[in-house]
Structure 1
Amino acid sequence: MIRVRTSAVAALTLLSATAATGQDSTASRRTFSSGYRFVEMTGEELFANVCQGCHMPDASGATGAGNYPSLAANKNLESGSYPIFMVINGRRGMPAFGDMMTDGQVAAVVNYLRTHFGNNFEDAVTAKDVQEARR
């Protein structure tokens, strides 16, 4: 029992030291939402904290407990209205994020997806496009 406590204390001390020295810069840059609205503002932050849990960090998708389509080199993203619709309304296993994201956040994550992971669609969507899609 004493060894377990000593190990736990040592682990917590190591984590505290790492945080204090800034060795883990990723953790210090992470943004986490609390509650029903996302606080992340950039497409990269939104993808990392909202999307990649299902679609994977490289956007390759996954199959297992559900089917999470690949967003990498995805021709469905060619028309900006399609990913806007999907983020706002969801479909099948994908939850609707429209109530949790502002128009600007939806535009940011859609633009990020459309310009990363082998997608090269450069006609950016705007917050106004998202606002119109909500009607």
Structure 2
Amino acid sequence: VCILVARDRTGQTLDFVTGKGALTKAQLHACLPHFIDKDILLVTDGHAAYRAFAKEAGISHQAVNLRAGIRVQGAAHVQNVNAYHSRLRAWLRPFHGVATRYLPNYLGWRWILDAKRICSPETLLKATLGAFPHLTVT
């Protein structure tokens, strides 16, 4: 299952379950335009879907060629997203697999934990009742 993760330099995170198989520009169009501004620089790995999406959406794009061993190009890098993926995988491992149907719930849970958004019993109660704004950029 493909999970699309978008992070900015401040650690604000958006994640989406895009489905099975390789990522497509249609999936990117379904997920990202509602949450990103036109004036951003989209920094990604070299996957062709990102290039096509950025061109069609009118967004500046810079690809970092990870296969060539290039991890950083000036100030542009994808290490923030790679680190998040690593923490997500490590956190999911003890569950011994998560049903795809419930994956968005686990992503929301991880999103809360990753940014230390639970700071009071009231916030914890709201999160467990599903009243926590998972896809709201704060």
Structure with larger Rg: 1
- Larger strand share, 1 or 2: 2
TM-score range, shorter chain: under 0.3
* TM-score between the two structures when normalised by the length of structure 1: 0.24
